[in-house]
Amino acid sequence: MSLKTKYLLRVFCKYVYYAGAGNCWYEDIYRETILYRLYSLITFSIYTTMIFLENVAALFGTFPDVEKNSAVMFAAIHNIVLTKMYLLLYHKDSIRKLNFEMATVGEKLEKAGNMKKQYRKVKWGNLFYVVSVYLSLFAYGVESTRRAVVDGRPFYTVVTYLPKYADESVTAAGFRIFFYITWLYMMLPMMSADCLPITHLITMTHKFITLCQHYERIRQQFDEDINIIPKAQAIEKLKAGCLEGIQMHQKLMFLAEEIHRVFGIIMSLQVCESSAVAVLLLLRLALSPHMDLTNAFMTYTFVGSLFYLHKHKLPIYAVNLWNAGEVTYQASLVSPAMFYCGWHLGAVDRHPHRDIRRLVLIGCTQAQKPLILKAFGIQDLSYETFVSVARMTYSIFAVFYQRGE
């Protein structure tokens, strides 16, 4: 089995398809039939209706403190979630084109070792995210069931305006369970919207790593060829490798702009959403030091889905920042790799238009320009921003906690 970028993106697009977010792959292997489109229309209509009822509950509903706080928190979060899901649908055609370019650019240069690292990072990071999110949601269901059985309170996970809190009929209970199942199912397209840009950032990072490795290989190959074949032939091979690398770099710069155009708002909303939820959860932990087992498990798994996304244990809002920063870092290594590829070892060509030195000079100059993705076109998505957001999140928590005391 080949673990190249094309295989990775195709597998992930298969998950997006079954999540109901449509076909994001450029080949017509995941067909959007009439039944599939009807299925997507129904599911997204249900999601929208549920979130509308959550907003009404947050604004006008009369609930006890626990349910009212949950209504406000989930209304804010799910509005952002729904926006990200619709943005994914809106950019579907652009994502198909982007996937084609990402799958094909530098495909022949990809090496097994680098591709295995890329595949593991995407696979285990996304898998842990899915598991932690669903553990949190199941914990909410268990806690709500416990309150219903032990305390005699209505079963609530997501808090909607209808049915009313005082309604204890079987129909009302059925609707509450239905909305909980809808919440569970809504996480599938939501995680598609979250993980798709992360996957593209990781693949972009490894494309730049592949490019740097390409320049290292052509230098090593030239050193070997110079002692085996005529010098002129070795120089021509070196020139061909340099040109291939420069063309790939130009393509990657264009694709980075496309990733920013297609996924920029989604990544920005994810940072805002996760920061807000992190503050609320930190306050919940601080103000409720003596929680029962199920309530503690519910809270800590939700914290886990935010604060432990992959093996480096980074906050979920940091994953976009961290991987965007990694793209910036790996892109900065292209210029020195290009400069030390060995172009200076060849004789000067008598034909100026064939002189590789000019192309390398232009390529190095362009590669020295920092490749920085921005949130809402203003804030850099980088390592530095990650630290700033983490500090800001704790500062907001500290202010609210001091006022609470």
Count of Cβ atoms closer than 10 Å to residue 146 Cβ = 15
- pLDDT for 310: 36
Q: Where does 226-352 have alpha helices with state H?
A: 231-287, 293-307, 316-332, 334-339
Cα–Cα distances (Å) from 118 to 111, 239, 250, 295, in that order, read 11, 29, 22, 37
Name, in order, each residue with C-beta under 8 angstroms of 68's C-beta and a sequence gap of 6 or more.
Answer: 58, 61, 159
Determine contact, residues 82/51, Cβ cutoff 8 Å. yes
Whole-angstrom Cα distance, residue 385 to residue 48? 32
Helix (H, G, I), strand (E, B) or coil at 309: coil
- pLDDT for 370: 87
Whole-angstrom Cα distance, residue 359 to residue 287? 62
The secondary element (H helix, E strand) that includes residue 174 is helix 170-225
Q: What does each of the 405 residues of the chain score in pLDDT, given as a tens digit?
A: 578 999 999 999 999 999 999 999 999 899 999 999 999 999 999 999 999 999 999 999 989 887 888 888 889 889 999 999 999 999 999 999 999 999 999 999 999 999 999 999 998 878 878 887 887 788 788 888 988 888 888 998 899 999 998 898 999 999 999 999 999 999 999 999 989 998 999 999 999 999 999 999 999 998 888 888 888 888 888 888 998 999 999 999 999 999 989 998 888 887 777 666 666 666 665 655 555 555 555 555 555 555 544 333 344 445 667 788 889 899 999 999 999 988 777 544 555 445 678 888 888 998 998 888 876 666 677 666 666 666 766 676 666 566 555
Determine contact, residues 191/132, Cβ cutoff 8 Å. no
Spell out the domain ranges in the chain: 5-404
The DSSP string of 82-150 is HHHHHHHHHTHHHHHHHHHHHHHTTGGG--HHHHHHHHHHHHHHHHHHHHHHHHHHHHHHHHHHHIIII
Question: Which DSSP category does 166 fall into?
Answer: T
For the stretch 375-378, contacts whose Cβ atoms lie closer than 8 Å and that sit 24 or more positions apart, written own/partner, are 375/264, 375/267, 375/268, 375/271, 376/264, 376/265, 376/268, 377/264
Helix (H, G, I), strand (E, B) or coil at 341: coil
- pLDDT for 376: 66
Q: What sign for the dihedral angle of Cα 293, 271, 102, 358?
A: negative
- Encoding tokens for residue 218? 């052509």
The tokens 């990200």 sit on which residue? 84
